[in-house]
């Protein structure tokens, strides 16, 4: 049973470029959340996808966008890259909680380390 897989593992971009990161959730999971983790910091919530729709969003500009596909996999797109976008981008999958229920355990992938020069 494969866990959460992310690609690419590492990439280098220059300012102004665009990047697409990909995530396949753990088998059986239907919800994908994306986090940005700067060096030495805690993960910062970007957004969450469920049923192919963005359900929640953190304090990130519109340059950050995403998509979820019918097979529950997801993409994170970042446009007009800035130096400050350099970070580890983590994808986490989970099961959607029952209505009114708490979010359960998040399963994280190994992350995609983005360096913007």
Partner 1 sequence: GQQVMQIPQYQHVQEGEDFTTYCNSSTTLSNIQWYKQRPGGHPVFLIQLVKSGEVKKQKRLTFQFGEAKKNSSLHITATQTTDVGTYFCAGQRAAGNKLTFGGGTRVLVKP
Whole-number Å distance between alpha carbons of 51 and 74: 11
Whole-number Å distance between alpha carbons of 83 and 85: 5
Q: x/- contact string, 54-73, with partner 1 (CB under 8 A)?
A: --x-xx--------------
- In order of 17, 71, 82, 90, 93, the CA distances from 115 in angstroms are 12, 29, 10, 14, 24
Nearest CA to 107 out of 32, 51, 20 is that of: 32
Chosen residue from 44, 65, 73, 86 binding partner 1 by CB under 8 A = 44
Determine the size of the site formed for partner 1 (CB under 8 A): 26
> Could you give the angle at the alpha carbon of 51 between the alpha carbons of 45 and 54, nearest 5°?
35
Regarding 74 and contact with partner 1 (CB under 8 A), the answer is no
State the nearest-atom distance from the C-beta of 79 to partner 1, in Å: 22
Q: x/- contact string, 75-114, with partner 1 (CB under 8 A)?
A: ---------------x-x----x--xxxxxxxxxxxx---
> Between 84 and 101, whose beta carbon lies closer to partner 1?
101
Instruction: List residues binding partner 1 (CB under 8 A).
Output: 33, 35, 41-45, 48, 56, 58-59, 90, 92, 97, 100-111
């Amino acid at each position: 049973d494969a866990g959460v897989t992310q690609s690419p593992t590492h990439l280098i971009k220059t300012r102004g470029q665009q990047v697409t990161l990909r995530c396949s959730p753990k088998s059986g999971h239907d919800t994908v959340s994306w986090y940005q983790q700067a060096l030495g910091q805690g993960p910062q919530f970007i957004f969450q996808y469920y049923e192919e729709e963005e359900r929640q969003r953190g304090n990130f500009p519109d340059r950050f966008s995403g998509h979820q596909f019918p097979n529950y996999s997801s993409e994170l797109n970042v446009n007009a890259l800035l130096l400050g976008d350099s970070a580890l981008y983590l994808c986490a999958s989970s099961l959607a909680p029952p209505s009114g229920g708490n979010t359960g355990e998040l399963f994280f992938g190994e992350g995609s380390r983005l360096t913007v020069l």
